[in-house]
Homo-oligomer: A and B are copies of this chain.
Amino acid sequence: MSSPDQMFAAAAIKAFRQNLDRATKLFTNLTEDQLQIRIAPGKNRLFYLWGHLIAVNDTIFPLLGIGDPLYPEFEAIFIKSPDGAAQELPTPAELAAASKAIDEKLLAAFNGFTASQWLERHTAVSEEDFAKEPGRNRFAILLSRTSHLAYHLGQAILAPK
């Protein structure tokens, strides 16, 4: 029997994974042509949105203090630049491989955290601020990244394919 702490963490990891899985299924089933479709007129292409989700998930490693991003070059392309700005883009196959590597490493780390490790501060908050706001912990990052996935998944579904 799991402790309540473990049950809470397991539920949140499952919610994150379910959104990841839906995103992976959606994007990896698209053709190269479909990946060039915009989610709405004048908005991001599906390819960019996919890269954005992967790049944001890759930032979770440094944010939780558990390592460097696996694909640090993605941040400039898919977070700091808008769609269409980057000169060199990864291929869809490279994105799929990056997604797989990042997701596996993230989930392994998540599954290894104890309850007290989930409640440690994330690296975007100082020790001083964290003492005042203990809610700014790793678990809050897991939840906000789950909402981030769901938010863009809703958009990707809308694209005319």
Binding site for B on A (CB under 8 A): 2, 4-5, 7-12, 14-15, 18-19, 39-41, 43, 115-116, 118-119, 134-135, 137, 139-140, 143-144, 146-155, 157-158, 160
Contact = CB atoms under 8 A, between A and B. Distances in A.
A120 to B, nearest CB: 11
Given A40-B40, A154-B154, A135 B10 contact: yes
B12 A137 contact: no
B5 A139 contact: no
A101 to B, nearest CB: 24
A26 B159 CA distance: 21
Please give the count of copies of this chain that the complex contains.
Answer: 2
A143 to B, nearest CB: 4
